[in-house]
Amino acid sequence: MADPWILSYEGYDPQEESLREALCALGNGRFATRGAAEEFAADGVHYPGTYIAGGYNRVESEVAGHTVSNEDLVNFPNWLPLTFRPEGGEWVDFSRDQLLFYRQDLNMRDGVLLRRYRIHDGAGRETSVSSRRIVHMHQPQYAAVEYCITPENWSGRVYVRSLIDGSVMNRGVERYRQLNGQHLTILRKGPVAPEGVYLVAQTTQSRIEVAVAARTRVWVDTPALHRLDLPAKSVDDEHIVGEEYSFPVEEDRTYTVEKVVALHTSRDRGITESGLDARLAITRSPGFEALFRTHKLAWQQLWSRCDMFLFTPGQLQPEFSPEQLILRLHIFHLLQTVSPNSIGRDVSVPARGLHGEAYRGHIFWDELFIFPFFTLSLPEITRSLLFYRYHRLDMARRLAAEAGYRGAMFPWQSSSDGREETQQLHLNPRSGNWDPDHSRLQRHINAAIAYNVWQYYKATEDMQFMESHGAEMLLEIARFWCSATTFNEETGRYEIVGVMGPDEYHEKYPDREEGGLRNNAYTNVMAVWCIDRARDVLMLLRPGRRNELCAMLELTDDELERWNHIANGMTVCFHDGVISQFQGYEQLEEFDWAGYERKYGNIERLDRILKAEGDTPDRYRVSKQADVVMLFYLLTPKELRLIFERLGYPFDDDTIERNMAYYMERTSHGSTLSKVVFSSVLDRIDRTTGFQLFRDALRSDIGDVQGGTTPEGIHLGAMAGTVDIVLRHYAGIDVTGDTINFTPRLPEQLKGLRLPIKYRGNWLHLEITQEKFLITVEENGPQPAHILVGGQLCEINPGESREFLLDKVES
């Protein structure tokens, strides 16, 4: 039976290799390396990539006579290369040799990638190889490979080559290849005494030094494990450093090559000079087995806090289910992208993880989908990630001022210093044209940041963070929204114009040149929500702190009075009984969905299809992703009703259902985030379709459903979104009120769910079946847990459990 901890691939398929590399990447929140084979450099099939959290560099490129400047998450020196050849033979090459067997297993419980293969070369020699690879989760400077070679039917001499390859470039995304991908200069390299080699590279503009040191040893297995004392022949190329060993081998004995690597950067803390630190780390490093032991322990501890266990009540053995495997895969990649090792590192979550180069490693509103998981498992991580935004608050103020606004306007795409990183032009790979890109007008990113601050506070009651940093962000964002609002004399209402909603298919009105739309409902309602929260936070602060902040920000009663007017008089447009995605939506044409499906099959990326036809989705009622529906995703019906009624608009019992039906028919789900949102909202309305979309969302990356985007990096927002559906809907956790509320309800396809969460200092262990909900407060918790179950308050002491029958729990 398949193991729900192991993602396995049987057989070697060059076409699928880049997808496997992304899905089998290993990382520790500080750096990650794609699951590429040790034996190959980037060659069209393989793409080894190592990315360091916050490791950005800016370069200029010439495109169609223009100079464009891009900041990329850099592909740093490849520490993987390890290969062998028999005497008189060639280095292993899967395209030449005959592969008799190939298997790759990502063991997520232990955080180890295993590869096994058996190869037949031109001279009739058969050799088996098995390797284990880790990127250390507790000592985040270390990574290691153990590579075992067994000559099956021959004896002779074997040559082993172990390198650090600094010749790498950013070449992982085909459509960026005409841009400059050269980010590194090699500063120095050479041997390490008493053993090993090192290489120091520096990014060309941001001047981040990255040092990699490697130590390679060889062991033979029989009679007892015994280290071979071999002289190393050095390899020293312009950008590459390494060692070669050769030794006699006997048929049917196993020779183990162990490569331990240390990686340090000039941005690390507690260091002197990265090259020296890496060299010292490698001389002090234990071997693979000892590193693996502590690495496994770190993963064990993380899983004890983060696992979601699906089970069938009454059965002793866990059953295998694809949902279980994929949920773990998603949690695994979340923890590899940000982990306790990320804390204090001035980083946030690149939309595509540390797993590839798509979107250049930039940070988007996807934080909104990713933070809730951390907030309920490792809230100290969310806190650290929120600082990424706080440290860029001044830049956001500058961006607001440059655009003629007040307060803080965070960029749609952010990376090192928080300037706007969104391109003005975007290459359409279907047509080969560079189309104008207005996506920077997605000002709703600011609502996402405010929402994240507020959610973190609600789940943790971390008033210290709120007083010292959170409140300032909320107030500056609210101020931005108010300054971006204009009063319409005709309607007597406030409006926000020139923005884009989350649906990136609508960048502008079809008959207009300039980008942006009027009164995007999601933006406007969330702006009101932000103002509400900013006013709440003023009430929450100690008077002394409130006065300090108001003085520092020059926030006056007059300004607060204007906030009040806006929060009571914002525009929301309606048509045909539904909320209009933006003003004038009803004037757009309906789209021929069936016709296009017949013609193109998969039409998720309708924007590219239409633009390649010389048309534009701007003309049609088509959405790439949830837009109006985002409101139902983020805010409870009660919250929405309060806002709508205060604004003088209807919000009846059927509003959500009506809008869902309308927009469901008009959404292509061209973003992997979309099905997460629809599934989540449908969970309250139509559980069958909701669960179907949950399953679809689970398949986004493992099935590479967008046909080629996952190899360029996982979709971390969608991964986290699926985990969040389990937390928020199946476990029914709601932290938006003053006390956590549980209304668990498993879909009929799931029998049992067990998971831990952390809420205001207490670890709560939840066990949910179709009939019952059992909650246990972990021993030694700081205080009794006060929780609501179906709105009913109960107090549970540390070490105690309480069981609830679900048919008695109100949803």
Q: Which of 673, 682, 725, 785 is close enough to bind ligand BGC by CB under 6 A?
A: 673
Contact between 374 and 338 under an 8 Å Cβ cutoff? The reply is yes
Our finding on whether 366 is near ligand BGC (CB under 6 A) is: yes
Contact range with ligand BGC by CB under 6 A, out of 50-58, 364-372, 394-402, 800-808:
364-372
* Beta partners for residue 146, in sequence order: 132, 258
* Beta partners for residue 311, in sequence order: 752
Our finding on whether 717 is near ligand BGC (CB under 6 A) is: yes
Residue closer to ligand BGC by CB (options 277, 366) is 366
Our finding on whether 353 is near ligand BGC (CB under 6 A) is: no
Which of 38, 146, 504, 767 is the catalytic position?
504
CA distance 278 to 275: 5
Q: What DSSP line would sit under 507-546, residue for residue?
A: SB-TT-SS-BEE--HHHHHHHHHHHHHHHHHHHHS-HHHH
Angle between helices 471-483 and 557-569 (to 10 degrees): 70
Contact between 484 and 443 under an 8 Å Cβ cutoff? The reply is yes
To the nearest whole angstrom, how small is the minimum distance from the Cβ of residue 399 to ligand BGC? Answer: 18
Our finding on whether 505 is near ligand BGC (CB under 6 A) is: no
- Which stretch of DSSP H or E encloses residue 293? helix 288-306
Our finding on whether 679 is near ligand BGC (CB under 6 A) is: no
To the nearest whole angstrom, how small is the minimum distance from the Cβ of residue 629 to ligand BGC? Answer: 13
Helix/strand/coil percentages in the chain, nearest 5: 35, 25, 40
Our finding on whether 356 is near ligand BGC (CB under 6 A) is: no
Q: Which of 5, 51, 364, 759 is close enough to bind ligand BGC by CB under 6 A?
A: 364
Our finding on whether 607 is near ligand BGC (CB under 6 A) is: no
CA distance 634 to 632: 6
Long-range contacts of 492-496 (CB under 8 A, 24+ apart): 492/569, 493/569, 493/570, 493/571, 494/565, 494/566, 494/569, 494/570, 494/571, 495/519, 495/524, 495/570, 495/571, 495/583, 496/443, 496/520, 496/523, 496/524, 496/527, 496/570
Contact range with ligand BGC by CB under 6 A, out of 210-218, 358-366, 451-459, 506-514:
358-366
Number of residues lying near ligand BGC (CB under 6 A): 12
* Beta partners for residue 792, in sequence order: 789
Our finding on whether 365 is near ligand BGC (CB under 6 A) is: yes
* Beta partners for residue 331, in sequence order: none
Token couple for 255: 């020779």
Our finding on whether 671 is near ligand BGC (CB under 6 A) is: yes
Considering only residues 647 to 666 of the shown chain, the ones binding ligand BGC according to CB under 6 A are none
Instruction: Name the strands in the sheet holding 762-769, side by side, starting at the edge strand that comes first in the sequence.
Output: 309-311, 752-759, 762-769, 772-777, 801-805
Our finding on whether 633 is near ligand BGC (CB under 6 A) is: no
Contact range with ligand BGC by CB under 6 A, out of 74-82, 308-316, 360-368, 574-582:
360-368
Nearest Cα residue to 704 out of 662, 731, 672: 672
Helix and strand element counts for the chain (H, E): 21, 35
Q: Tell me, residue by residue from 464 to 503, as one string, x for binding to ligand BGC by CB under 6 A and - for no binding.
A: --------------------------------------x-
Q: Which of 5, 359, 620, 763 is close enough to bind ligand BGC by CB under 6 A?
A: 359
Q: What DSSP line would sit under 105-144, residue for residue?
A: EEETTTTEEEEEEEEE-TTS-EEEEEEEEEE-SSSTTEEE
Our finding on whether 706 is near ligand BGC (CB under 6 A) is: no
Our finding on whether 504 is near ligand BGC (CB under 6 A) is: yes
Residue closer to ligand BGC by CB (options 359, 494) is 359
To the nearest whole angstrom, how small is the minimum distance from the Cβ of residue 252 to ligand BGC? Answer: 50
Residue closer to ligand BGC by CB (options 58, 362) is 362
CA distance 497 to 484: 8
Residue closer to ligand BGC by CB (options 325, 630) is 630
Q: What DSSP line would sit under 295-355, residue for residue?
A: HHHHHHHHHHHH--EEE-TT-SSPPP-HHHHHHHHHHHHHHHHS-GGGTTSS----TTTTS
Residue closer to ligand BGC by CB (options 279, 605) is 605
Contact range with ligand BGC by CB under 6 A, out of 118-126, 362-370, 478-486, 697-705:
362-370
Token couple for 81: 């290369």
Whether 504 is a known active-site residue: answer yes
Residue closer to ligand BGC by CB (options 268, 421) is 421
Nearest Cα residue to 157 out of 96, 82, 85: 85
Residue closer to ligand BGC by CB (options 53, 718) is 718
Our finding on whether 625 is near ligand BGC (CB under 6 A) is: yes
Residue closer to ligand BGC by CB (options 140, 356) is 356
Q: Which of 7, 200, 298, 351 is close enough to bind ligand BGC by CB under 6 A?
A: 351
CA distance 79 to 240: 10
To the nearest whole angstrom, how small is the minimum distance from the Cβ of residue 503 to ligand BGC? Answer: 8
Residue closer to ligand BGC by CB (options 379, 717) is 717
Catalytic sites, residue numbers: 504
Q: For binding to ligand BGC (CB under 6 A), which residues are involved?
A: 351, 359, 364-366, 502, 504, 624-625, 671, 673, 717
